[in-house]
Amino acid sequence: MASATHTLEADLRAAREAAEVTIEDIHQETRLAEDIIERFEAGQLIGDPSFNIIYLKAFLRSYADAVGVPPHRVEAALEAAKTGAYHGELHPDYVEANTETSAEPSEEKTDDAETEQDDTGAETGAQKETPFPKVDALPPAVPAGSAAFSGTSTAPYAGARPTRRLQQKVRTSSGRTFDMAWRAILGVTVLVVLAVLAVLWLLFGGDSPEPDVAGSDTPESEEVAAGDGPAADGSSPQSPAPRLSFPIEVSVVAGGDGLQSFLVTEAPNARYPVWIEPGETNSFSSNLGVVLWGEGGLGMNPEEVTLRFQGYEWRPPQGQVLRIDSTYGQTLLDSLHAAFPRGGRVAPQS
């Protein structure tokens, strides 16, 4: 029988040694630090106010599972140890003692019966006889691990101790569960990263059309064709095209249902998306150049986009990606001036 003075830590250490499990075995199976295990078995964790109780309970569950003790019994023993009601129930050799005795009550009843018989004048010799037959010896105990043992005991270690093969099987299962959990976490992380990359690709990447030479397709648009062209006799415009001014500034007026993720480059900055509500205007400026990529980088839609540049207002051709810089900005102005030599669809700048 385990002594009632045994501590929870000492009894769990005895259970570990009885199961032939080393501290290194527990560390390999549960990843608990060996110094923490040694501190616990030395009685330095329970009662330490600086050691978190939640971590302590988790530690005990892992420790108990590693040495073959049901974790719920360890938790119950911990609560009992806090109140001083733990009496060595987790020790491998613990056997619950029978604290009740039947001899004294029987003697008291016998004395009462004898007194009553004396009062009535009856014989007292028969009342003093023991009512139960005397048992000379108890039958031999059946070993807990033998084939003849078929009952179920509530004691923690009534059955056979776990073999090394069973312990290895338990450890392998725990390791597989741990690996599967990490694989699931890794898989979810990869999926999240791929989703973020896909969103960034839609916003900033993709196979966007190459920028058109500014103004090369402008005369072919429906709006430009509707403007006043050169004179019928083929004579030159009366005034030259305006010169490109710096900083280059172009305005985008949103039509239709507005512009969502309209990509713009203001050199030397990288391409970025903007959102323009229907009827609103956004202006973009740069000393190096401006590139209008259109919604999603797929070019502009004349039904949704109106452009304003150095006093000219027009709608770009379908799918046009327009680049306006020091090289092609003047080309765009020449093309617009040729399409609108006498004003046409010219919007005066404010």
Whether residue 45 is contained in a domain is answered as: yes
Specify the CATH number for the domain of residue 15.
1.10.260.40
Does any domain span residue 170? no
Q: Which of 27, 57, 83 is the last residue of a domain?
A: 83
pLDDT digit string (tens) for the chain, length 350 residues: 444 467 889 999 999 999 999 999 999 999 999 999 999 999 888 878 888 889 889 999 999 999 999 999 999 999 888 888 888 888 888 766 533 433 444 444 444 444 444 444 444 444 444 454 454 444 444 444 444 333 333 334 444 445 454 455 555 555 566 677 888 999 999 999 999 988 887 777 665 566 665 555 544 444 443 344 444 455 554 578 889 999 999 999 999 889 989 999 999 999 999 999 999 999 999 999 999 999 988 899 999 999 999 989 999 999 999 999 998 999 998 888 888 765 545 544 44
Which pTM was predicted? 0.37
Is 277 a domain residue?
Answer: yes
Query: Looking at the domain assignment, is residue 67 inside a domain?
Result: yes
DSSP collapsed to 3 states, the chain? CCCCCCCHHHHHHHHHHHCCCCHHHHHHHHCCCHHHHHHHHCCCCCCCCCCCHHHHHHHHHHHHHHHCCCHHHHHHHHHHHHHCCCCCCCCCCCCCCCCCCCHHHHHHHHHHHHHHHHHHCCCCCHHHCCCCCCCCCCCCCCCCCCCCCCCCCCCCCCCCCCCHHHHHHHHHHHHHHHHHHHHHHHHHHHHHHHHHHHHHHHHHCCCCCCCEECCCCHHHCHHHHCCCCCCCCCCCCCCCCCCCCCCEEEEEEECCCCEEEEEEEECCCCCEEEEECCCCEEEEEECCEEEEEEECCCEECCCCEEEEECCEEECCCCCECEEEECCCHHHHHHHHHHHCCCCCCECCCC
In a domain, 97, yes or no: no
Residue 273 placed within a domain: yes
Q: Does residue 247 have a cis bond before it (omega within 30 degrees)?
A: yes
The pLDDT of residue 350: 40
Does residue 316 form part of some domain?
Answer: yes
Q: Which of 22, 54, 83 is the last residue of a domain?
A: 83
Instruction: Name the domain count of the chain.
Output: 2
Q: Which of 46, 64, 83 finishes a domain? A: 83
- What token pair was written down for 262? 């309209």
Residues 229/262, Cβ–Cβ less than 8 Å: no
What residues make up the domain containing 274? 212-339
For tokens 């006799």, the residue is 233
Beta strands 322-325 and 212-213, pairing class: parallel
Contact indicator for 69, 170 with CB cutoff of 8 Å:
no
Please tell me the predicted confidence (pLDDT) of residue 280.
94
Cα angle 206, 207, 212; round to 5: 125
Distance CA 312, CA 227 (A): 12
The C-alpha atoms of residue 334 and residue 166 are separated, in whole angstroms, by 88
Distance CA 213, CA 322 (A): 7
- Domain assignment present for 164: no
